[in-house]
Amino acid sequence: MTRTAKLATLPLGFAGRTALGLGKRTIGRPAEAVALEVQRRTAEQLFAVLGELKGGAMKVGQLLSIFEAGLPEEVAGPFRASLTRLQESAPPMPAATTHKVLAEWLGDDWRDYFDAFDDRPAAAASIGQVHRAVWHDGRTVAVKVQYPGAAQALMSDFNQISRLSRLFTPLFPGVEVKPVVADLKRRLEKELDYVDEARAQTAFHDAYADDPDFVVPAVVAQAGNVLITEWLDGTPLAKVIADGPQDRRDRAGLLLFRFLLSGPARCEMIHIDPHPGNFRLLDDGRLGVLDFGGAAHVPAELQWSIGRLLRIGTLGDPDEIVDGLRAEGFLAPDAEVDPEEVADLVGPHAAPFAVERFRYSREWMREQTARGFGLAADMRPGSLARQFRLPPQYLAVSRALSGCGGVLCQLEAEGAYRAEAERWLPGFADDGGPDLDDRTEATA
């Protein structure tokens, strides 16, 4: 009831701000200034309420915070610091509740598994919180404990947020929020399964064992709603975004991109939750990666298709771009589109891979966001927006790469991203067709 009441304050606040805006318009304030003020106040309240809740509400807040680089500076600036905090933490649950969950899944003698256990959570996120402890063999471990009732809260939040999706319009005009929320809901249902998360993390750990660039903590134990992994120190990516020097920003950005692109080639999986709270930059320059609850399978054929589409986008040939999108299902077979219009839309998104080095920036992201909003807002019969679709097999990859782009823009990172595409996407380097029998050399 408390959670629902907090979420219910959002439409009331929005209605009040809208009425205030209309009143100010009547006394001569410019419509643009009024709209900007409504947008700013809506965002302020939205993130404040979502930040107080766990489950789906906070997860939506984290997702939105990744894309703050695409918002107008006048709106994003005032609460950027609060978004960074949202990516890293949430109010913790009491120690007694944590003990109850541990006893339920590890047994009443759960303390016997540990030489030490810190009741103060080291991090509290959307579905669970993490405690630092010492395993009985002397290893420092992270004990991830799922909140009691997290599944029920998750479903309640998403049903409520879906009904309130119109409140996101002032922040992201022209975007259909309900389908995004529905896809996120499906993914979070998967994240609630710690058995699946342990399996995915083990696959990544094995694939990146002794890697010079990455550290994936090993899974130590898993039982029900408790997941225990090796502890990982390092500087949170959110702190690098907030005040890191440019060389660390560039390093973190390149490694983040490399990790997302190399995952499919090395273990046919991709990490699809690239918000900054899931990454640490270690003192030795490696990138530590956490939270594999949202990992998705990416088969070899799809890897090649992604690379091929990216390559076609960098070449900039309008007819070839349309043919490629049609072949992959982004355009209906009978869709009548202007190839030049399609190329104008797709081309800028391929820009980071058309040059040897590229710098991601908030300004670049805002340009792409504005272009996307313009497309989505034009729903006239025959418009390009009505012709585009996102094939189901691309949903997870699209979420991972778009989220990664948002973080790279927050970092304002510069790097050789084209070389990474050439290294990890076979279809980008070779347009001759997928060679599914020669995976060993590419993976190595």
pTM over 0.85: no
Tokens of 162: 């879906």
pLDDT for 363: 86
Neighbours of 317 (CB within 10 A): 13
pLDDT value for 274: 86
Q: Residues 298, 410, 130, 154: is their CA dihedral positive or negative? A: negative
Name the amino acid, one letter, at 165.
Answer: S
Cβ within 8 Å of residue 435, ≥6 positions away? 426
pLDDT value for 163: 61
- Give the Cα separation of 412 and 40 in Å (integer): 23
Rounded Cα distance, 255 and 251, in Å: 6
The closest of 61, 56, 75, 68 to 4, measured between CA atoms, is 56
Dist. CA 83–CA 62, nearest whole Å: 8
Strands 128-135 and 269-270: unpaired
User: E strands, 231-297, where?
Assistant: 235-236, 269-270, 279-281, 287-289, 296-297
Please say whether the beta carbons of 234 and 280 come within 8 A: yes
Angle at 331 between CA 257 and CA 369, to 5 degrees: 45
Question: Would you give per-residue pLDDT tens digits along the chain (444 residues)?
Answer: 444 455 454 444 444 444 444 444 444 444 444 444 555 565 555 555 554 555 555 555 555 554 555 555 555 554 455 555 554 445 678 899 999 999 999 999 999 999 999 999 998 766 789 999 999 999 999 999 998 887 776 667 666 666 655 555 544 444 455 666 666 677 777 778 899 999 999 999 999 999 999 999 999 999 999 999 999 999 999 899 999 999 999 999 999 999 999 999 999 999 988 888 899 999 999 999 999 987 999 999 999 999 999 999 998 899 999 999 999 988 878 888 889 988 888 888 899 999 999 999 988 888 877 776 566 556 566 677 778 887 888 888 988 998 899 899 999 999 999 999 999 999 898 654 444 344 333 333
Residues 6 or more apart in contact with residue 32 via CB below 8 angstroms: none
Report the amino acid identity of residue 206.
D
C-alpha–C-alpha distance, residues 135 and 414, integer Å: 40
CA–CA distance, 347 with 338 (Å, rounded to integer):
14
3-state class of 48 per DSSP?
helix
* Amino acid, res. 212: P
Q: What radius of gyration, in Å, describes the C-alpha atoms of the chain?
A: 23
